Structure 1
Amino acid sequence: MNLLPKSSKEFGSVDYWEKFFQQRGKKAFEWYGTYLELCEVLHKYIKPREKVLVIGCGNSELSEQLYDVGYQDVVNIDISEVVIKQMKERNATRRPQMSFLKMDMTQMEFPDASFQVVLDKGTLDAVLTDEEEKTLRQVDRMLAEVGRVLQVGGRYLCISLAQAHVLKKAVGHFSREGWMVRVHQVASSQDQVSDTEPRFPLPVFAFIMTKFRPVPGSALQIFELCAQEQGKPVRLESAERLAEAVRERQQYAWLRSQLHRKAGLGSVSLDLCNGDTGEPRYTLHVVDSPTVKPSRDNHFAIFIIPQGRETEWLFGMEDGRKQLAASAGFRRLITVALHRGQQYENMESIQAELSARVMELAPAGMPAQQQVPFLSVGGDLGERTVRHRDCSPLSGDYVIEDVQGDDRRYFRRLVFLSSRNVVQSEARLLTDVSHRAQKKRKKDRRKQRPAGTPEEPPAVPEQAIDKGYLCCEHHKAMVAGLALLRSPELLLETPLAVLVVGLGGGSLPLFVHDHFPKAHVEAVEIDPCMLEVATRWFGFSQSDRMKVHIADGLDYIASLAEGEARPPYDVIMFDVDSKDPTLGMSCPPPAFVDQPFLQRVRRILTPEGVFILNLVCRDLGLKDAVLGGLKAVFPLLYMRRIEGEVNEILFCQLRPEQPLATPELLEKARALEQALRKPGGGWDDTCVLSDMLQTVQLV
């Protein structure tokens, strides 16, 4: 029998509820959960001897069950005469002290401060059906009456789905009155009781609004969230942040419901937060592999990504995770990334912490009591040491961190927290700066530091950075592009003017400076904080052959192109990221590939020079437009896709005699590498320039 209204507006109709309870009869109707599901929250916030008013009681058994466990001072009201009559008849003998009154909760007949608790199970949701003026006036009267009949220190305990408009109204009303606002998630609210009465796909929340005595002139507002029955409340800074936290939990519940019903939802990710602080602790990605044939043991697995390796293609990109899931051979794989700033004891403690939560995301059809394997890379959690945190006015929050790579070597990274899974700059640390040595030095500094003095880890000495090693594959490809210039042996013997737009940690300009002894390198960086980062943490330094200009790259190149004495550059490199993640192109910003600007780049490039661009573009239409624009300005255009990354390196030239075939390119790259492998030059054996040009294509 379907008794739900066709329109939510019918919830506010007396006629609807009269008809509802006549059809329903004596069978109890439990909005948003039974007593057993709600009792932990109810007992937490209602004392047995307190006087309780239940508004909109309906024919729920909740009051009766509270009465039976010792809450006997309970008054129930409802606008339906039919249901009040039913409830009186049902309880006259067994519960003589409990009363049922037909009463409009917007015009209650009780004296002021009559109750210590007002209990509302779904009534506010039923009344606040929309945000029309008439409805809001009715709700204002209802909430004002709740406040009037409560004593100071009393609580309005409202069980609700916490729809956005309901949460906004309730929190706004009581916070303005100076009440403490707490939202408590009811843990078991999403379970199914039976097939005939399915629950709402959204979680159920309890609003606990505590009445404080008004303090004239005080603007103090208290907002708290309890995400678990026994969890500690987390203090939040605003009503907006409280609404956001509730919305996150609603989205998780919806996702859980969808994942349980079907597979193949596409790319799905979510954060699990520390219950005490509200800070993200784990990031989960759910990957389904519909092509994997089902068997008893391959339904579901969890993969723990070692700290610091979440940025690798296999773990950090959707295509990589799909490959990982297919290789693992499970129908559903959840990858788990560990957050910086959080402490993790060992793999066993992580499994214990995650087991209950990730099992909620298991696929339908998984056998009962199925053992779910936790996978990892050699059982290793990895190592990550945050060396420095700061905030740039231009780039936002960032961290400098040292992580252990898959070869047990340590790497230093610059990461902007707005794109926490993207490494902005990276350098390898020399072997004498091991993690163990760092820990020993930190311990020694702590002994020497006066009590109470905050610790600021010193910058690693310049020699600790391996300047001969390029961590980023796209940087290696950009260096290989210098083979397009001229005879490789001449590159090391003749002056070379190089302009690099985008400094970051300084690895790319520093590498060119150190390995091309006649090169004069200029770097342009818009953010002065990045020069400080590069100097202090990545071993970068300026010299007579290395200059940094703090300027907008667009303005700097425009001023050069329009000046009378235009210094031509043999090499121009763009390695600059966009701060707008919505564009579909994260590197470079669109203004750097506009036609007028590309013409300016052309004017400051020597006729035989090469313009090298790091392009990161996921929008195929936009990428085609960028390539078309480059081709219109630079007649010769080569493209090299970086394996396992989104990066594509574009090599642009003006007037070459003729395009070079792949064998010629590879030969020039080998000759350049041979010239660079000079004794004592610190060349990294893993950097094979010919490999960087192996898959170059002519556009």
Structure 2
Amino acid sequence: MDEQVRSIDVDGFSLKVPEKHVFQSRIALTLKQNQYVKIECFEAQGVVPKYKFFVVDAASNGKVKMKTAAVFIVPQGQEKSWTFATFDGLADLLTQINVSRVIFVYLGRGYIFKDLLGVQEELKTVVLSLLPPNCNTTKLPFMTNGDIGEKSLIYHNNNTIVEDVKEGDYYLRQLIFLSNVNQVQSEIRLELQDETGQELFSEGSLLKGRVTGNYSFLTFECQRAMILSLAFFPQIVLNKPFKLLILGAGACVLPTFLLKFFNNIEITAVDIDPQVVEIGRRFFGVPEDPRFHVFIEDAILYTKNYSGEAFDHIFLDICIGDPNVQTPPPQFTNQEFTSFLSKNLTDDGILTINMIGNDMQISKIIEEMRVVFGNLYKCKCKEDTNQILFCVKKNCEIDWKIVVKGVKELEEIKKWDSTMGLLEYAEWIKAVERQIKPADAILQGRKKNRKKRKKN
């Protein structure tokens, strides 16, 4: 159940505060060891938060008793790093700052922030409402890691935002849904155009000049893991034309990567949102290619009505933009829909699923797939919460060493960016064992006991 929040007005902003931290229409954030509170900060009439506050209290009781505080502005482009994307990372940084409480400030999507002083001036009164009672800090320090980072707004409408941001040594272009501003829907690396690159929309970009996308690298860990399915039967993707169906095209980053490296591929991509596909063409460099077919349609209806030649691979990568709903949603993993997917695969075909959810939801997806596909293999992403499920239609067991060999063969021929680390992901692939129900376990135990008695 979602936590109830209350809107509290502070210095022209509306703060969405968990109900349990509100007392008599005021924010009441008492100090507690290891306390972690998330608060969103909206401008008047704002649709998305301009700031997000993560209030973290020290783990040490001695430090809590100090009743001191500081504010840390998270630089744009570093939000996905371990330090700022995990509680352990924030807690570790708090320990280094050596205060009782740190208010971590994340700068919102779709807004442009000039410098640290501008952010500090705008928030100097707001953050006072988040200090611990009887705070002993006389002058509240504002800190950051060097500077607040670089970001430019390329495009926005009522549903989506396209931004350029500098992350470490790289410039990235990101697509964000306003329904879930905490998640980047699509992303590519940017570089200056050479004689061969396709120019992207360059106006307002952080890179000064004719901008193009680097499609030798996939920035999303889940996409790098998904293309491992091509290494299960590499002879198929290397020696003959092969067909791929992608359900959930988004801005078409993954198909654009594959079109670059596989001349023998034919890709059909399906997405229900025409606006997102158009954003892919306009801002992400999706090519006009006779091997690439895009359908704006409901993925379930398209799959059920499909009557063409079977696909060698199907990628199921559907996220509806709601952080409270598993990926893919349940209607895309039930047995009825799974059966249609299987029918549209060749005998050597593989269904690859990008999954996000809790343990119970993931187990449910796996059991649904088990009914139709006899051999399942899973790969957990290292940094992201995603898990990739490979459903092999052919009744054969595949050792991860075979996949590793296939990856080496593909990388040697295709020459994509070796820093994607596909070999490491391949080594994480494990066969998914069938879950044994308690009643079945009892029956199996009895059978083993009977066999032992017979031997004796």
TM-score grouping bracket, smaller chain normalisation = 0.7 to 0.9
C-alpha separation between the residues in 1 aligned to 2:67 and 2:252? 46
Which residue number in structure 2 is paired with residue 595 of structure 1? 335
In the alignment, which residue of structure 2 is the partner of 1:525?
271
Per the alignment, in what secondary structure is the counterpart of residue 345 of structure 1? Answer: coil
How many aligned residue pairs are there? Answer: 418
Q: CA deviation at 1:432?
A: 5.0
Aligned pair in 2 of structure 1 residues 279, 580: CA closer, same or farther (>3 Å)? closer
CA–CA distance in structure 2, aligned partners of residues 631 and 365 of structure 1:
58
* In structure 2, distance between residues paired with 1:327 and 1:261: 18
State the TM-score, normalizing by the size of structure 2.
0.80
The change in CA–CA distance for 1:432 and 1:332 in structure 2 (over 3 A counts) is farther
**Rounded Cα–Cα distance in structure 1 between residues aligned with 2:301 and 2:46:** 44
Separation in structure 1 between the aligned mates of residue 91 and residue 315 of structure 2, nearest angstrom: 33
**Does the C-alpha gap of structure 1 residues 260 and 510 become closer, same or farther in structure 2, counting only changes over 3 Å?**
same
Partner of 2:428: 695
Shift of 1:616: 1.0
Rate the CA distance shift 1:274–1:603 in 2: closer, same or farther, 3 A.
Answer: closer
Which residue of 2 is the match for residue 383 of structure 1?
150
Q: In structure 1, what is the Cα distance between the partners aligned to 2:387 and 2:343?
A: 24
Label 1:658 to 1:251 Cα distance change in 2 as closer, same or farther (>3 A).
Answer: closer
Query: What secondary structure, in the 3-state scheme, does the structure 1 residue paired with 2:394 have?
Result: coil
Correspondences of 1:589-668 after superposition (within 5 Å)? 589-617=329-357, 619-660=358-399, 662-668=400-406
Task: Say whether the 8 Å CA contact 1:313–1:645 is kept in structure 2.
Answer: no
Determine if the alignment matches structure 1 residue 428 to structure 2 residue 189.
yes
Cα displacement (A) at 1:525:
1.2
Matched, 1:332 2:101: yes
Query: What are the within-5 Å matches in structure 2 for residues 528-547 of structure 1?
Result: 528-547=274-293
**Within 2, Cα distance between the matches of 1:631 and 1:299?**
54
Distance 1:328 1:406, change over 3 A: farther
Partner residue of 2:412 out of 660, 669, 674: 674
SS of the residue corresponding to residue 530 of structure 1 reads helix
| 1:500 counterpart = 2:246 | yes
Amino acid at match of 2:428: T
- 1:259 pairs with one of 29, 34, 59: 29
Q: 1:342 to 1:578 in 2, by over 3 A?
A: closer
**Partner of residue 6, structure 1:** none
Partner of 1:684: 417
Is the CA contact 2:48–2:181 (under 8 Å) kept in the aligned structure 1? no
Please give the secondary structure, in 1, of the residue aligned with 2:161: strand
- Whether contact under 8 Å (2:266, 2:292) holds in the other structure is yes
Q: Cα 1:461–1:248, aligned 2, differ >3 Å: closer, same or farther?
A: same
Q: Distance in 2 between matches of 1:613 and 1:638?
A: 11
Alignment map for 1:529-568 (pairs within 5 Å)? 529-560=275-306, 563=307, 566-568=308-310
Query: Which structure's residues are more often strand, by fraction?
Result: 2
> What residue number does 1:473 align with?
221
Change (3 A) 1:418 1:316: farther
Where do 1:115-264 residues align within 5 Å?
228=11, 253-254=22-23, 257-260=27-30, 262-264=32-34
Relative to structure 1, the CA distance from residue 279 to residue 644 in structure 2 (aligned partners, 3 Å threshold; closer, same or farther) is closer
Counterpart-to-counterpart distance in 1, 2:218 and 2:395:
29
The 3 A distance-change label for structure 1 pair 516 and 246 is closer
Do the aligned partners of 2:310 and 2:344 also contact (CA within 8 Å) in 1?
A: yes
Match of 1:196 in 2: none
Aligned counterparts of 1:202 and 1:430: Cα–Cα separation in 2: 42
When normalised by structure 1's length, the TM-score is 0.54
Identity, % of aligned positions: 28
Counterparts of 1:465 and 1:337, CA distance in 2: 27
Q: Is the contact made by 2:328 and 2:355 (CA closer than 8 Å) also made in structure 1?
A: yes
Distance 1:246 1:415 in 2: 22
Q: Does the alignment pair 1:419 with 2:180?
A: yes
The separation in 2 between residues aligned to 1:523 and 1:246, in whole angstroms, is 40
CA contact (8 A) 2:377 2:390 kept: yes
Rg larger in structure? 1
CA contact (8 A) 2:355 2:388 kept: yes
SS of equivalent residue, structure 2 residue 157: strand
Contact 1:485 1:610 in 2 (8 A): no
Query: Which residue of the partner structure matches residue 3 of structure 2?
Result: none
Q: Where does residue 449 of structure 2 map in the other structure?
A: none
Deviation at 1:604, TM superposition (A): 1.2
Paired residue for 1:511? 257
TM-fit CA distance, 1:549: 1.4
> Which amino acid in 2 is paired with 1:344?
F
* 1:234-313 matches, cutoff 5 A: 253-254=22-23, 257-260=27-30, 262-265=32-35, 267-274=36-43, 280-291=49-60, 294=63, 299-310=68-79
Structure 1 residues 644 and 329 mapped into 2: Cα distance closer, same or farther (>3 Å)?
farther
Structure 2 residue runs of 5 or longer lacking an equivalent are: 1-5, 433-456
Contact 2:56/2:101, CA 8 A, preserved across alignment: yes
Contact 1:280 1:339 in 2 (8 A): yes
Aligned-partner Cα distance in 2 for 1:530–1:276: 25
State how far apart, in whole Å, the 2-side matches of 1:278 and 1:551 are: 28
Tell me if the contact between 2:303 and 2:340 (Cα under 8 Å) persists in the aligned partners. yes
Distance change (3 Å), C-alpha of 1:402 and 1:607? same
How far has the Cα of 1:614 moved from its partner?
Answer: 0.5
Q: What is the letter of the counterpart of residue 399 of structure 1?
A: I
CA distance 1:667–1:501, change in 2 (3 Å) = same
Q: Distance in 2 between matches of 1:516 and 1:349?
A: 48
Aligned to 2:315: 573
Shift of 1:272: 2.9
Please give the secondary structure, in 2, of the residue aligned with 1:430: strand
Distance 1:632 1:550 in 2: 30
**Where does structure 1 lack aligned partners over 5 or more consecutive residues?**
1-200, 204-225, 235-244, 392-396, 444-456, 678-682
